[in-house]
A = this chain, B = another copy of it.
Amino acid sequence: MPADLWPDPNALGPVTDLYQLTMMAGYSASGMADKPAVFELFVRRLPKNRSYLVFAGLEQALTDLLRLGFSDEQVDYVRGLPAFGHVPDSWFNQLRTFKFTGDVWAMREGTIFFGGETVLRVEAPLAQAQLAETFLLASLAYPTLVASKALRCVQAAGGRSLFDFGARRGHGPHAGFLCARASYLAGFDGTSHVEAARRLGIPAIGTMAHAWVQAFPTEREAFTAYARTFPDSTTLLVDTYDTLEGVRHAAAIPETHAIRLDSGDLATLARQARSILDDAGRPDVKIVASGDLDEWKIRDLLAGNAPIDAFGVGTELITSRDAPALSMVYKLVAIDGQGKIKLAPGKKTYPGAKQVWRRLSAAGHFAGDHVTGATETSHGTPLLQKFIHQGELTGQLPDLQSIRAFVQSQSHALPGEFKNLDSAQTYPISYSDALEEEAARLGLTAG
């Protein structure tokens, strides 16, 4: 029988690195499994070309964290691993009934954040908090990458529509779901991914591929047949043979709502297409562009006044070739109330549970973030909220539309220089005296 590598969402416990399980067993053997621990999740440095990130994936991560568990079959497997030969039965029995019972603080989904800021904090018995690491990183980093790329596209598109066309270029079929959601929450207008659109309740977009045009004897027949079946949403792909000839064919079809350009010099073709359409008395027909687009290409097309009404973004959205991986980390910052810090050259970090306070200028723009200990107070808005208390959600999670609105309000509050696509900016972040003193006291801030 072929291996089926679709995970079971109700048995995600072992969707993790083995060392999380060895450490859990070891903590248990050492009487430390239930010590109160604090781990924080953050991105140490932003990727090249990024002046900010958009926190995304929280809803799925929290949902899955609360159901993280192990099937009997999975526990038996771990028990059978040679390394676990000396681990007592009692630990495997605990694994069978594993449930996350800790607290989770996090930035609201859709928050714009910066390098070095805690975006999520787990306060839980050590063994539980440890298990969550791989899972949280794998669940949060990717949607954050996509949402961040998507907001850059939205900022570049200056109000034109944007559609997620990434499904086929994802890292496996599941990535398409994550990309559709993350791009929509960052301001995209819809996705070509049918099942994602259905599950999320967002617009599904799409009309035809080149194969449609090729399947008919002529382009004209292909267009006519399409318009007959979909008279209310006829978008015609015009570049299968000769693009401008394709535009003329599309202009002659009364049902045509839009044409799509998918190759060639999009700026020139869009201008030529616009002329042909206008001359044919079809100023109503919109122009959609696609084909290896990213935020820079969108900006350049619009800077050159290309008459494009909507953009489809695929590969560069779903895999962000300029920043395909995010070095998000999850670090132990306290255990038993004692601050902890890993000593590593060039990686200054602060011990203990933290809060991030965002300050606004008089004009309502982000004016700098201030990081304090979690129990300190400061001015500005505290960005980390408690989402899970003792293993239960503290309330309903924000819905996708409200996350989307929140991202747009944040985008407006982000100072203009952080939207510049040509040079990455560093956002001002300061640390409280108490944090500086505690770090100095631990003698670990050198470097």
Contacts and interface: CB of A to CB of B under 8 A. Distances in A.
A233 interface: yes
B229 A62 contact: no
Given A2-B63, A60-B2, A181-B5, A194 B25 contact: no
A192 B23 contact: no
Interface string A230-266: 1111000000111000000000000000000001100
A173 B83 contact: no
Nearest to A338: B217
Given A18-B204, A215-B332, A230-B83, A168 B342 contact: no
Interface in A121-165: 126, 130, 133-135, 137-139, 141-143, 165
Interface stretch (A74-82, A275-283, A368-376): A74-82
Given A315-B325, A342-B214, A23 B138 contact: no
Copies of this chain, count = 2
Contacts of A174: 5-7, 172-175
Contacts of A3: 59-60, 181, 199-200, 400
30 contacts: A2-B63, A3-B60, A3-B181, A4-B63, A5-B177, A7-B174, A15-B167, A16-B194, A18-B207, A27-B215, A30-B229, A32-B215, A64-B173, A77-B198, A81-B204, A82-B233, A83-B233, A84-B230, A86-B230, A126-B215, A134-B168, A135-B173, A138-B176, A141-B168, A142-B171, A171-B319, A174-B174, A214-B342, A320-B324, A321-B324
